[in-house]
């Protein structure tokens, strides 16, 4: 009967087992830290991409607001003669040419809307969690300020404009509207000589003028905030 001899296997002592365990533990731990470091680097790079994109949006919106401020300045200038025009028209409804300038400056508005491509990404992709708290707080505050302007534009300001246009349609001659497009068309400006209605119209004009001035003030303050944010991010991240 054949007898098999097993080779002698040297038994490991506790120290060797401990060293093997330590090497495995260190390898796993270093791998974990390396992965965490890689994710942290990627998150920081992604956060900077968001900030730079928002920075570019800010510059776009600053130019946009400058255009709207110029538009509002012209509108306010065009409405500066409301009181004198009121006295003239109420004394003689045939002397209503001063209304042309007023009407031209109450037929349209330029509401402001931020460029929200980056804000949409930050919100939908959970990007705010990647930002430093200081950066996230500044962007959140900026969005809060814009929401106030947006609500102002869509409520009181829009309602004031609607009221002016509603009453205008009751007092103005259709040919007067055509004259705004073609000065060669002649016709009496006022369709209605109802002084009570005209008085209501001028009251709404004064209200609308007030809302237009308030709109301009909100946008001016908002643009100053934009400029401060642009400087902050430019200095912090060395943007061009």
Are 32 and 90 a contacting pair, CB within 8 Å?
Answer: no
**pLDDT the model gives residue 234:** 95
Q: What is the per-residue pLDDT across 215-230, written as a single tens digit (0 to 9) for each?
A: 999 999 999 999 999 9
Provide the token pair at 11.
């038994």
Using CA atoms, how far apart are residues 58 and 63, in angstroms rounded to an integer?
9
Bridge partners (DSSP) of residue 172 are: 190
For 83-92, 205-214, 215-224, which range has the lowest pLDDT when averaged over its residues? 83-92
Q: What is the per-residue pLDDT across 119-160, written as a single tens digit (0 to 9) for each?
A: 999 988 888 999 999 999 999 999 999 999 999 999 999 999
> Model's pTM, two decimal places?
0.81
Rg of the chain over all Cα atoms, to the nearest angstrom: 34
What does 74-116 look like in DSSP terms, one character per residue?
HHHHHTTTHHHHHHHHHH-TT--TTHHHHHHTSS---------
Are 214 and 152 a contacting pair, CB within 8 Å?
Answer: yes
Q: What is the per-residue pLDDT across 148-194, written as a single tens digit (0 to 9) for each?
A: 999 999 999 999 999 999 998 888 877 666 666 665 555 567 777 88
Contacts for 218 with CB less than 8 Å, ≥ 6 apart: 148, 149, 152
């Amino acid at each position: 009967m054949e007898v098999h001899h097993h080779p002698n296997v040297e038994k490991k002592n506790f120290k060797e087992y401990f060293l093997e365990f330590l090497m495995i533990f260190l390898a796993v731990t270093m791998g974990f830290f390396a992965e965490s470091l890689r994710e942290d680097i990627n998150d920081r790079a992604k956060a900077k991409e968001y900030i730079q994109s928002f920075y570019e949006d800010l510059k776009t919106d600053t130019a946009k607001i400058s255009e709207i401020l110029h538009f509002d300045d012209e509108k306010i200038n065009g409405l500066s003669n409301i009181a004198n025009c009121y006295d003239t028209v109420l004394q003689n409804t045939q002397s209503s040419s001063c209304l042309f300038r007023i009407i031209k400056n109450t037929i349209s508005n330029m509401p402001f809307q931020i460029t929200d491509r980056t804000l949409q990404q930050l919100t939908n992709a959970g990007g705010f969690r990647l930002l430093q708290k200081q950066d996230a707080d500044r962007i959140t505050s900026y969005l809060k300020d814009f929401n106030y302007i947006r609500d102002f534009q869509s409520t009181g300001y829009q309602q004031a404009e609607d009221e002016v246009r509603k009453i205008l349609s009751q007092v103005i001659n259709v040919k007067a509207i055509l004259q705004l497009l073609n000065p060669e068309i002649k016709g009496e400006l006022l369709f209605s000589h109802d002084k009570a209605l005209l008085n209501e119209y001028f009251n709404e004009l004064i209200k609308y003028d007030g809302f237009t001035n308030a709109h301009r003030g909100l946008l001016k303050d908002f643009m100053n905030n934009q400029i401060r944010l642009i400087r902050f991010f430019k200095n912090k991240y060395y943007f061009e």
